[in-house]
Every structure is written in structure tokens, then in C-alpha cells.
Amino acid sequence: MKFSKAGLALLKKSEGFRGRTYLDANGIATIGYGHRQMHPNSFPDGVTPDLAEHILSCDVDEAEEAVERLVKVPLTQGQFDALVDFTYNLGSGRLEQSTLLKDLNAGLYEAAARQLLIWDEAAGHEIAALKERREAEFALWRGNGE
């Protein structure tokens, strides 16, 4: 399964584009569409929109692969998109260790969907933008859900 245009639109809206390095809510150096800069990949001169799109595509591929690897039950397009966006934002490690994944792989689709909504904090504080993003993921999940 591939990330849909609706999923990508949510991701890009949630992340926004920044051509210069900035610190995200957790203090991690980030650039483009929410790309976390890990040594040795840094962009001291910033990134162009085209380069940011390329990096985004590579990062989305990684998130898609993680969802495909970790989820053991069938998904609708909306569920897949919500999980790819979630994984892009939080990382595959968080998905792998989450109650969301445990519920989903147990076939508890509704419980898994509700788990999306609790991931709205950064650095121990509720973040309005994360709350909005999780609600959008939930809507995506439910809009194409079972």
C-alpha cells in the first residue's frame, strides 16, 4: 500500500515547510517538512523546496515500510495513511512500542483509532498543533475505516 494524496496533504499541512534548520517541540534539529537532522546529514545552507520534497519522499518511504512491517492485520487506505503520518511524526520505535499497535494487531480497530488521540504532547506538554494533527489522523482513519 502507498501513502495517498490525502495522507500526504495532511502531513505537509501538519509539518509545514521550513528551508532553514529549526528546533522542533522536543528540541531536535529539523528542516524541510519535519525532517529530523541526524549526523552526518545536515544542511547548513538550508534546503530548497525541491530538495525538501525529495527528502520528504524518502522519509515517507521509511514510514510506509515501518507500517507494513509492524502491522499484522488488514488496513483500509485511511487507516494506513493515519499510521504513516503518525509514524512519520513520531518514529517507528514509538509505533512499535505503542498500545495503538498492540490493539490494532489484536484486531481492536476502534481501540487503536482512539489511541491516536493520546499522542498530543511534546516535552510533557499538550501541543495544540499535535492535538489537531491527531484528530485529523483519527478522522482519516474513521473516514475510510471499517
Q: Does the domain at residues 5-143 carry the CATH identifier 1.10.530.40?
A: yes
Query: Could you tell me the CA-to-CA distances from 44 to 19, 41, 56 in Å, in that order?
Result: 10, 10, 18
Which is higher by pLDDT, 137 or 146? 137
The string of pLDDT tens digits covering residues 14-32 is 999 999 999 988 888 999 9
Q: Which residues are within 8 A (CB) of 84 and not within 5 positions of it... i.e. 6 or more apart?
A: 3, 7, 11, 60, 63, 64, 67
pLDDT band at residue 94 using 50, 70 and 90 as cut-offs: very high
For the segment 41-54, the average pLDDT, to the nearest whole number, is 91
The string of pLDDT tens digits covering residues 96-125 is 999 999 999 999 999 999 999 999 998 888
- Active-site residue, from 15, 65, 137, 146: 15
For the segment 81-96, the average pLDDT, to the nearest whole number, is 97
- Clarify whether 146 is annotated catalytic: no
Nearest by Cα to 135 from 67, 86, 71: 86
Q: Which residues are within 8 A (CB) of 62 and not within 5 positions of it... i.e. 6 or more apart?
A: 92
User: Given this model, what pLDDT does residue 146 score?
Assistant: 37
Beta strands in 1-146 (DSSP E): 18-23, 29-32, 35-36, 121-122, 125-126
Q: What is the C-alpha separation between 62 and 89, in angstroms, rounded?
A: 12
pTM, entire model: 0.93
